[in-house]
A = this chain, B = another copy of it.
Amino acid sequence: MAGEFDLIARYFNWPAQGEGVSLSVGDDAALLSVKAQHQLAISVDTLVSGVHFPVNTHPADIGHKALSVNVSDMAAMGAEPRWFTLALTLPEYNTAWLEGFSAGLKQAADDYGVDLIGGDTTRGSQTITVQIMGEVTPAAALKRSAAKLGDVIFVTGTLGDAAAGLALAQGDSSIYASGEKRAYHDYCIQRLNRPTARTVESRIIRQYAHACIDVSDGLLQDLMHVLKASQCGAVINTDDIPFSEALSSLHPPEQCLQYALTGGDDYELLFTVPDDQCDGFIKAMSEQQLSCQAIGYITDDAEQIINQYSHLLTATGFQHF
């Protein structure tokens, strides 16, 4: 069996592409230079097999997703993602798995323009921890606590696809689908396995928005984090929540809504924009053909989410414990 250092050299020792890396993989620590006038934004997420992805997920998808969900946190903070570390715990030295994982991770690193600058490999049950680091000016940082009364609540993209994809991946109904239905299944599973961190959208959002969060645990739970931190409430026009053609075709509206509100793993951005900034924001997004949808507004009814019919909506999104 090859050694730990061989494993790193073979699968994870890519030359740094971007600026700011003085010393990368292979010393006691990496050395980075953060741009002047910028703060360092840091986030860490662990993926566990069978919890954060189905056990039969392709290793390339796992590698790609491990980085995407972390880059998504940078997008949610309004930060430019720059560097990451990988702490990889594996039960065995499985060449096929490592090749797939490494390829997917490298693809994501290239997609987002971030550099792997260090890590650790250990033996044990499979656990994948990525820590992402980025740069942000203090003025652009999108804190959860920054939502203000009257802000319009937006989301990027569509919600609920990943939850529908998870139900498909855990069941076996997709095996029997064909034609258009099969394409919709594949779309939802792709949304689960290959989420796209909204870095492009974030560059516009951070010029207009007050608060922002990424939707990883379902719309209700993630919105509640913003409301708690900002000490306000929200009205959500559930009819305005955007669904994909695939999701709408596969499921009745109530099921789509359920997936969007309490399903996880969409990694879209949920953010609040001051009312008088909305026109400019929507124009800037549409000029770059980026999708966003207003779904409600911020109220002073602390930590309460109600829908347009004045019904209380309670967050029962995914919790790990």
CB within 8 A of A320: which of B122, B144, B145?
B122
- A215–B87 CA distance with the chains assembled, in angstroms: 20
Q: Does A176 contact B (CB under 8 A)?
A: no
Q: Does A29 contact B (CB under 8 A)?
A: yes
Given the contacts A48-B89, A121-B320, A214 and B42 also touching, CB distance less than 8 Å: no
Query: Do A77 and B28 touch (CB < 8 A)?
Result: yes
Q: Does A138 contact B (CB under 8 A)?
A: yes
User: For residue A134, which residues in chain B have a CB less than 8 angstroms away from its CB?
Assistant: 29
Task: Give A141's nearest chain B residue, CB to CB.
Answer: B31
With an 8 Å Cβ cutoff, the count of chain A residues facing the other chain is: 73
User: For residue A321, which residues in chain B have a CB less than 8 angstroms away from its CB?
Assistant: 1-4, 6-7, 93, 121, 123
- A1-33: which have CB < 8 Å to B? 1-7, 22-23, 26-33
Query: Do B46 and A40 touch (CB < 8 A)?
Result: no
Query: Do B26 and A41 touch (CB < 8 A)?
Result: no
Q: Does A233 contact B (CB under 8 A)?
A: no
As for how many copies of this chain the complex holds, the number is 2
Shortest distance between the CB of A209 and any CB in chain B (Å): 13
Query: Do B32 and A39 touch (CB < 8 A)?
Result: yes
CB within 8 A of A77: which of B29, B42, B76?
B29
Query: Do B131 and A28 touch (CB < 8 A)?
Result: no
User: For residue A89, which residues in chain B have a CB less than 8 angstroms away from its CB?
Assistant: 46, 48, 127
Q: Does A67 contact B (CB under 8 A)?
A: no
- A93–B125 CA distance with the chains assembled, in angstroms: 18
- A6–B319 CA distance with the chains assembled, in angstroms: 10
| Interface residues as binary, A28-55 with B (CB distance below 8 Å gives 1, 0 otherwise) | 1111111010011111111111111000
Question: Can you list 12 A-B pairs with a CB-CB distance of less than 8 A?
Answer: A7-B321, A22-B39, A27-B77, A28-B43, A31-B39, A34-B34, A36-B36, A44-B129, A46-B127, A50-B124, A87-B131, A131-B131
Give me the 4 closest cross-chain CB pairs, A-B, nearest first.
A125-B125, A48-B124, A28-B76, A29-B43
Q: A33-B40, A121-B321 are in contact. List 6 more A-B contacts (CB 8 A).
A: A27-B229, A29-B132, A46-B122, A46-B124, A46-B127, A120-B129
